Amino acid sequence: PALVQVPDETSTTGAIIVESWACGIGQPQQGFDWFGQCTTPATNQTFSLYPESGGTTPLATETADEQGRVRFANLPPGTYQVRPEGTVWCYAESDRVDANGNVLVESQLESHVWSFVCGGGS
């Protein structure tokens, strides 16, 4: 499925798009084809957004839609942590991260996170 950019950001904000996929394996495996073998959206997966510094109180919490997508919109530029709630992800990738795995947000841009949850159907 393709991502669709929704132009609701102002000239000074950005967004983080999370796509969550269920994988039929119980734990991460070396050389596993995450994008090829995990094709079922992880619907109802909840993600929280935190400042880079962490903390216990999220800035926002959203639940994945029927396509496994979550959108954190109108974010000031900066560095954020995205965390799955109620599970740990087996594997994740992003197109904009720092050396610590925090997601970078820039004005008028979408940062994408692809999350893979082990133990789901594929």
pLDDT of res. 7? 55
Residue 85 burial (CB count, 10 A): 12
pTM: predicted TM-score of the whole model, two decimal places: 0.84
Which carries the bigger pLDDT value, residue 83 or residue 4?
A: 83
pLDDT digits (tens, 9 = 90+) for 42-76: 998 999 999 988 778 999 999 999 999 999 999 99
Rounded to the nearest 5°, which phi and psi values hold at 37? -105, -15
Tokens of 64: 């994945």
Q: Is residue 28 within 8 Å of 90, Cβ to Cβ?
A: yes
